[in-house]
Structure 1
Amino acid sequence: VPPEKIQTKKIWQHVHCDSCYSRRCRARVEVGVSCAIASCRLLCGAVFHLCKEEDHLLLCPNVRVPCLNAEYGCPVQLPRSSQGSHLQVCPASLVSCSMEWNRWPANDACSLPNTELFENLLRERQQEGCLDLAMALKDQDALFHSMKMKKLFPELIQSVEEEEREERRLEEERRKEKERKKKALLEKEAPMLSQEEREAIARGSEVDAGLLENYNAWERMFSMEMGGCREAAAGRGRGRGTGKNMGTLNEEDETESCAGAAASSSSACSASSSCLNGRPRKKNFVYGKLEPMKIITVRTFKVPTSFTARQGRIRNPGFYKRENKGVDTSDLGVAPGDMPVWEEVQASLLCSLERERRGNLIAESITSDSLLTDQGTQTYRFLSAPFRRNTSLADLTAGKPLELHLQLQVESVTSRHNKASSAFTFLCGHTFQRSEYGKHFKNIHSDIQMGVNGWFEQRCPLAYLGCTYSQRRFQPSAYEATVNFNKELGCFSLHPKAPSFQSAGGQSGGREDSLSSLPYEVLCHVASFLDSLSLSQLALVSRLMRQVCSSLLQERGMVTLCWEKTSSSHGPARWRATRKVWQFSSLFSPVDSWSFTDVPSISEHLKVCPYNEIESKTGKIRLPRVLEEIQTNKSCKGPSLVTLFQEKRIMM
C-alpha cells in the first residue's frame, strides 16, 4: 500500500467500523466512531462502511488490474475475477515442449549399415522430401552444431596465444597499410619539410621558446647521434638547477652520499642526510646498533620408528615398482606421415558417445582419489587440424557433400531410459501457448512422429537393399491434405489440396495479386480463420499482410522477453531483458481424426520394385514322412510328435 493511502487510512479510522462486518449495520453516524454504509461503485455486490472503500478496492473482483504475466510482456488489462481464466489464452503464459527422442548412429555395431539406402535418399531428396529423412537431417544438423571441437579434441585446438598473435599480426598489417597510404597521400599533397623548416614554422606560430628548447633537447637526447649521452647529462644538470622535469638522479651520486651512513652509527650527519651538490636529501631510516640474529629451528615432533604400515595392493601406489616414462607417437613405430587420417564426423561421434558411455574420454585424465590417477593418450590426425576455439562439427562439414550419419528410425524416451547408452537424445523445444500445447503434442508427437516408422509413412520392405519408395497412408478425415516437414522452421506443416484457381479468360493464376485489393477489414477477418503457422508465413508476403497479421498478435500470438548479456567493468556480467518479441507458434490446424488415403497397397509396388528379384524353385523338395502307419486312438494317450521324434519313427 502506498504511504499516502496508509495515512488516509489512519485519518479515517473509526472505532466501530474496525470491528463491524454486518451488511445491515444501523449504527448512528458519529465523528470518529462510525460512518455510513455504502455499496461498491463497481457493482460487485459488496456492502461496507464508507471508510473501508479503499481497502475493498484491493479485493474487488470488478477492478481492472494488469495480467499476472505483465512483467513478462502481457499488455492486457482485465477484471480481477478473470485473471485465472485469462491464463489459458495469455500470450505470455507459454509452454516449452519437453518431448525427447533417441537416434542411433548410422554405423552402429548392433544394426546393419544402410549405406546404399542413405545414398539413394540423399540423391533423390530434391524430388519429394520424406518425413523420416527430413527429421533425421534436422536432428543431425542440430547435433553437429552442438559438438564443439574444443571439448572433444582439446589437444588439437589452437592456443589462445597463437590466435591472439595471429590477430595482432593481422591488425599490425592493417595499421601499417593504413599509415603507408596516409603517408603516400601526404607526400602527394605537400613536399617533405626539413628539421630547420619545422622549427621555423614553430617559431612563426608564436610557440614558447622554452618549450621549443626543451623539445629540441629531448629530440637530440633520444636520437641515434654520438652526442646523445652528453646531451642527457647536460639536460640533467639543467633540470636540477631550474627545477624542470628534465633532471634525473644519478645512482653514483646517491651511492657516494650514503657511503658513510652504514659504516658507523656515530656519523650522524652522514646517517641522517646525504649531500647532493651541497643540498641535503631526504632523511633515510638507518638501523642503529643491530646485529643479525641466528635463527634456530626447533622440531618437537619425532617420527616413530616402531610403527610399520601394512602394505596394500590396491590403494598403495608404492606397492608395485613403477617407472615414469614419457611416450609419444614415435614409440608406435609408425612415421607421422604414415599414420591413418581420421574422418572428423566419425571420430567426433565416437568420442561423443564415448564420453556419454564412460563419462570421460580415453585421452582424459581421471583421478579416482588423492593417490591414484589414470592417464591415457589417444592419437588423432585430421586434415583440418588445428581447430579454432569456437569451431563446431557443423563448420567442418559445411563445404562437404551431404551425408546421413544417423538412423532414420526414432525411438521414444521413457522415464526408465538409461541415458548412459550409445544413442543421441534430441529435444523438441518449440514454444506454444498453454491452450495450444495439447494439440501440438497429439498431432505432432503422438500421431505423426511416433508413427513415421512404418505406420504413418510406409517404406518398401526392400528398403534395406536401397529402395527409396515410400507412401503416406493417412490424411485428415475432414479434408484432403498432405503432411510435410518445414526444414527452415524445424516443424511439420499441413498443406490442403485445393483446386487450382482458373481466371475468367481460362488462364490459371496470373501475376495480379487479387487478395491485396480487398479492404483491410476483410483481410483481417479472413486472416482470423488461419492457424498460427499460416499466420507466421503470411506475414512474410508483403507489408500489408504483415500489418494484417500484426493485428492478431495479442489474440493469437506469443510474447517473450529477449535477454542480452551485458558486461560491466564494476562487476560481473549480467543478463537483462532488452525488448519484447511477438511471434506466432508453429502449430497447424488441429486434426481430430485421421483416415486412410486412397493409395495402392505396398504389394503393388513389389511387383515392379527393381530390388525385388524373384527366384523360382524348380527342383523337388523332400518332405518329412512317417515310417509306418500309426493306428489312431480315440484316447488322449496316443503318441505325440515329440515321442515320434524320440523313437526315430520320422525320417527326412
Structure 2
Amino acid sequence: MSHRSRASKVRQHVHCESCYSRRCRARVEVSVSCSITSCRLHCGALFHLCKEEDHLLLCPNVRVPCLNAGYGCPVQMPRSSQAGHLKVCPASVVCCTMDWLRWPTDETHPHSNIALQEKVLKENDGQVKALDLAMALVDQSDLFSRLKMRPLYPELMDKEEEAEEEKKREEEKKEKIAVGGFVSDIPNNGANEDLVTSVSAENSSYANQAEETVQPNVSQKAVIDKDKYNLFEMMFSMERGACEVAQQNLNHPKQAGEKVGSDTNERPVMETNAAEDGEHCPQLDTSKTGHAPWQEGVLDRLREDLTPQEYNMYIVHHGRMLVSFGQIAACTPREKDFVYGSLEPIPVQTLRSFKIPDSYHYRQRAHLYDAAARAQSETRSVDTSDLGASEEDWFSDEATTTLLGYAEEEVMGHKISETKAIDGLYIDIGTQTHAFHSAPFKRKTTLAEVTVDKPVKLHLQLQAESVNSRHSRATCVFTFLCGHTFHRREFATHFRNVHSEIQTCLSGWFEQRCPLAYLGCTYSRRRFQPSTHDATVTYDQQLRSFNLRPTVVTSSGNDSQTAGGKDKLSSLPYEVLCHMATFLDSLSLSQLALVSRLMRQVCSSLLQDRGMVTLRWERKTESHGGAKWRAKPVWEFSRLFSSVDLWQMADAPPISAHLKVCPYYETRVHSEPVPLPSMSDKHKCSQERMSLVNLFKSNQ
C-alpha cells in the first residue's frame, strides 16, 4: 500500500510483539508498549498502534486488485470478495480442447456421397446450409492451410530457391566444421627410428585413404570428429611400431642388449650406422614367429603360447585389427557374404541417405536370386503416347494426391513408394512421379495456396471420428481442434450443446438426409429444436461455430426504415437498448457490436459482466532495431449461443413422405411371376410336394 501510518517507521515494542489481547491494559511507555487502536476501515479488529501496517496486509476491507490482474482483469475489490469474484471474473477463461478425426474421401466406395457434395456446392455456390457439409468444408480449409507440399514432393520444389537454401546451409557447415591435418609426430628412439618411420609412412597412406572417405561424409553432416580420428590413427601407428620393435628385439636379443648398454653419447653415431646398414641388409622374415595381428597364423600361435584368459583379452583389444588384416571374419547379417577391406566411418542419417561402404566386397550372392524363376522380359523403347492417353490426363489433382500421400504415411506408417533396404547391397527403390499444373512449388507452399483459385470441392468425409491413442493431434494431421475460448461458467454449456448433442449426432440423428443422397439427392431435415422456443440450428463458416437462429415471421411491408434513414431499433433511447441487450446471448452480442457505432457502445457496456478478457501477444519493433513481444488485453464476447436444456422433435414431415416425391427414387413394378430357385421343369408336372430330404437325395 502507498499509504503508511506514522507508526510504521517505529520498531515494534517489546510488549507489543507478544501481545494479542483485545483488552490489553498495559501502560504506554517509550520502547516498551503503545496504545490499543481499532481498524480505521471498520473491520472490527483491535491491535496495538505499531501493528497497524501488518494488519493492513490481512484486513478484509482493504481494496486489492483481482487475483487475475496479470491476465487483464481491471477490477478492484475488498479482499473478502476475491473468492466470490473468481466465479464471474472476465479473465477466468477456458479454451475448448475437443478434437476429432476426419479422413479423406474414398472415391471407390459406392456410398461416398460424392455426387451429393458436388451438387450441393454447385447449387448453393459455396453457401452451404447443411450442418455436416458446412463443418466439413471448414475443417478442410483448416487442413489445407497446414499441409506442406515440400515433404511429399521434394523433387517439384523451385530449383533456384533450393539452390540458395543449399548454399546457405553449406556456408553454415563450413563455419562449424574445423578441418585439421593428421598427426605425424610419433615419439621414437635411436635404433627404432628407421622402423618407426617406415610404419608411419605406411599408416600415412592409410590415413590418406581414410581422409578421402571421411571428407565427403563430413560435408553431408558434421558427425565425425577428425581430431579424435587422427588421435586413434596415431595410437594405432604407435602400437604397430612398438610391436615391430618388440618382435625385432625378440629375434636379435644380442643387438638389443648392446644398444641398451651403450653410452648415450654414442647414440647418434649408432643410429646413423644402423640406418646405413638397414639399406643393405635383407628384411627379416617374421611372419611365422610373432604375435602381431597382421602376421599370418598369429591365432594358432596365440592358442599355444597364451592362457585362455590372455587369449580372450588379446582378441578384445586387437579384434579390430584382426578383422582389418583378415585374421578373423567380419560379423555380417549373413555369414561370409562380405569382408572388410578397410574401416571407414559412414554417417547414416536416414534410410535414403545410406551409402554402401567401399570396403564391402561382394561374394557369391547370385545363388539367392534364381534367374530361371524371373519373368521373361525384353528391352523396348516406349513412350507415354503408346498408352493411348492425352497429355492432359497425366496431370493429377493437387488436393486429392496430397491427401492420399499424407493418409498413406499416417495409416501405413510410411510414404508412398518408400525405399526399403534389404541389406547393404540390395535396396528396393520406390519411385512415384507426379505432374501438377501448379508446379514447381516454393519452399513454404501449402495446399491452401495451391487450391486458392480452384472451385470448392469437398475431399474429406462427412462423418467425423473420435481421436484414439494412435491418431492423436500431436502426430496426425487429420485431427481438428475446436479451439474456441469461453468463460469458465460457459464452458459446460458449450460442450454439452455443441459437442455432445449436435456434433456427435449429425450423421443421421440430429440432421437426417434422404437415403438416396449417394445418388445426388440434396434433401435433408433437422429433427430437433429447442423445447422452449421455435429456433433452428445453423453453422457459421466464418465464425466456425454453431448458432441458434430463432424463427421470425417477417412482415411484407417495408417498415424497417424511418424518414431519417435509420432503423427503428437505433431510434430507441440508449438506456432501453442497454436493457434489451441484456437478454441476448454472447454470440448475438458479438454480432450486434458489428452493426453500428451505437450498437458497439451498447454492447461494450456489458463487457464487464458478460464479456471476457484475454491476452493477445504482439511483436513490436523498437526504435533501435530490436523487437519485443508484448501482451495486450483484449475484450471480447464468446461464441456461446443460448443454453438449450431440452430438445424436442421438430414439426417436419418424415423421410418417407419425401421418398414419394424424390426424383431419385424409381420404383419398378413386376407384373409377371418370378420363379423361385427351387422350381424347375421337372417339378412343374409333379403334384406332390418334395421335402428338403428328397431334394438333397435327388441332387445326389
**Alignment TM class, shorter chain as reference:** 0.5 to 0.7
1:450 counterpart = 2:504: yes
Report the CA distance between 1:334 and its aligned residue: 4.9
Task: Classify 1:22/1:486 alpha carbon distance in 2 versus 1 (closer, same or farther; 3 Å).
Answer: same
Q: Give the structure 2 partner of residue 300 of structure 1.
A: 238
- In structure 1, what is the Cα distance between the partners aligned to 2:383 and 2:602? 69
CA contact (8 A) 1:140 1:406 kept: yes
CA separation in 2, counterparts of 1:366 and 1:7?
A: 84
* Offset at residue 421 of structure 1 (A): 10
Aligned equivalents of 1:559, 1:418: Cα separation in 2: 30
Determine which structure has the larger helix proportion and give its number: 2
- How far off its partner does 1:426 sit? 0.8
Residues 512-551 of structure 1: per-residue CA shift (max 9 Å, x gap): 4111111212211211221111111111111111111122
* Number of residue pairs the alignment of both structures matches: 495
In 2, the alpha carbon distance for the partners of 1:574 and 1:376 equals 47
Deviations 1:336-371 (A, max 9, x none): 996922210111101222332355534788999999
Whether contact under 8 Å (2:24, 2:36) holds in the other structure is: yes
Q: Which amino acid aligns with 2:552?
A: A
What is the match of residue 12 of structure 2? 13
1:445 maps to a residue whose letter is H
Amino acid at match of 1:525: H
Report the 3-state secondary structure (helix = DSSP H, G, I; strand = E; otherwise coil) of the residue aligned with 1:582: strand
> What RMSD in Å do the two structures reach over aligned CA positions?
4.2
Task: State which of 390, 393, 401 in structure 2 corresponds to 1:347.
Answer: 401
| CA gap 1:607/1:423 in 2 versus in 1, 3 angstroms | farther
Per the alignment, do residues 355 and 646 of structure 1 end up closer, same or farther by CA in structure 2, a change over 3 Å counting? same
**CA contact under 8 A between 1:563 and 1:575: conserved in structure 2?**
no
Greater CA drift, 12-21 or 136-145: 12-21
Question: 1:23: Cα distance to partner?
Answer: 3.3
Does structure 1 conserve the Cα–Cα contact (< 8 Å) formed by 2:104 and 2:404?
no
Secondary structure class of the residue paired with 1:61:
coil
Amino acid paired to 1:144: F
**Contact 2:93/2:485, CA 8 A, preserved across alignment:** yes
Give how far 1:149 is off: 1.9
Decide whether the 8 Å contact of 1:432 with 1:585 is kept in 2. Answer: yes
Change (3 A) 1:67 1:441: same
1:75-129 per-residue CA deviation (whole Å, 9 max, x = no partner) reads 1112222223322222222111111111121126677432211222212335861
Q: Which residue of 2 aligns with 1:121?
A: 120
Structure 1 distance, partners of 2:675, 2:147, is 57
Cross-structure match for 1:145: 145
1:134 deviation in Å?
0.7
1:310 pairs with 2:316? no
Q: After the TM superposition, which residues 121-520 of structure 1 pair with which residues of structure 2 at under 5 Å, given as runs? A: 121-126=120-125, 129-159=129-159, 161=161, 297=200, 299-302=237-240, 303-304=321-322, 305=325, 306-313=327-334, 318=360, 334=383, 340-358=394-412, 361-362=415-416, 377-413=431-467, 424-500=478-554, 508-510=559-561, 512-520=566-574
Structure 2 residue matching 1:150: 3-state secondary structure? coil
Q: Equivalent residue for 1:523?
A: 577
> Partners of 1:399 and 1:587 in 2: how far apart?
33
2:24 maps to amino acid: C
Q: In the alignment, is the contact (CA less than 8 A) between 2:161 and 2:442 conserved in 1?
A: no
Q: Deviations over 1:591-646 (max 9, x none)?
A: 11111111111111111111111223441554989xxxxxxxxxxxxxxxxxx978
SS class of match (1:386): coil
Task: Quote how far apart the aligned CAs of 1:468 are.
Answer: 1.1
Cα pair 1:357 1:420 within 8 Å, conserved: no
Residue-by-residue CA offset, 1:275-307 (whole Å, 9 max, x unaligned):
xxxxxxxxxxxxxxxxxxx99657213334544
Identity in percent = 54
Match of 2:641 among 566, 582, 588: 588
User: Does structure 2 conserve the Cα–Cα contact (< 8 Å) formed by 1:443 and 1:590?
Assistant: yes
Provide the C-alpha distance between the structure 1 equivalents of 2:469 and 2:85, rounded to a whole number of angstroms.
Answer: 33
Residue 49 of structure 1 and its aligned partner are, at CA, apart by: 2.3
CA positional deviation for 1:569: 12
Q: Does residue 1:542 correspond to 2:596, yes or no?
A: yes
Three-state SS of the structure 1 residue aligned to 2:151 is helix
Judge conservation of contact 1:561–1:581 (CA < 8 Å) in 2.
Answer: yes
Structure 1 unmatched runs, 5+: 166-293, 324-329, 626-643
Change (3 A) 1:123 1:138: same
Indicate whether 1:616 and 2:675 are aligned.
Answer: no
Cα distance in structure 2, aligned partners of 1:97 and 1:533: 16
Using the size of structure 1 for normalisation, the TM-score is 0.66
Indicate the residue corresponding to 1:62 in structure 2.
Answer: 61
In the aligned structure 1, how far is the partner of 2:27 from the partner of 2:425?
Answer: 88
Distance (Å, rounded) in 1 between the aligned partners of 2:94 and 2:614: 11
Aligned partner letter, 2:99: E
Q: Deviations over 1:260-286 (max 9, x none)?
A: xxxxxxxxxxxxxxxxxxxxxxxxxxx
Distance in 2 (alpha carbons) for counterparts of 1:561 and 1:6: 37
TM-score between the two structures when normalised by the length of structure 2:
0.62
Distance 1:489 1:519 in 2: 30
**Counterpart in 2 of 1:606?**
659
Deviation of 1:436 after TM superposition, in Å, equals 1.0
Give yes or no for contact 1:134–1:487 (8 Å, CA) kept in 2.
yes
* Residues 568 and 379 of structure 1, relative CA distance in 2, 3 Å threshold: farther
Q: In 2, are the aligned partners of 1:500 and 1:508 still within 8 Å (CA)?
A: no
Aligned-partner SS, 2:660: helix
8 Å CA contact 2:161, 2:443 repeated in 1: no
Change in CA separation of 1:149 and 1:418 when aligned onto 2, cut-off 3 Å: closer
Letter of the 2:397 counterpart: E
**Letter aligned with residue 520 of structure 1:** Y
Aligned partners of 1:28, 1:547: CA distance in 2, in Å? 62
- Paired residues of 1:17 and 1:34 also in contact (CA < 8 A): yes
Distance 2:463 2:333 in 1: 51
CA distance 1:435–1:372, shift in 2 (3 Å):
farther
The aligned amino acid for 1:41 is: R
SS, match of residue 48 in structure 1: strand
Q: Secondary structure at the match of 1:610?
A: coil
Aligned equivalent of 1:104: 103
Find the counterpart in structure 1 of residue 632 from structure 2.
579
Unaligned runs of 5+ in 2: 166-193, 201-233, 241-320, 339-355, 367-378, 680-690
Alpha-carbon deviation of 1:17?
2.0
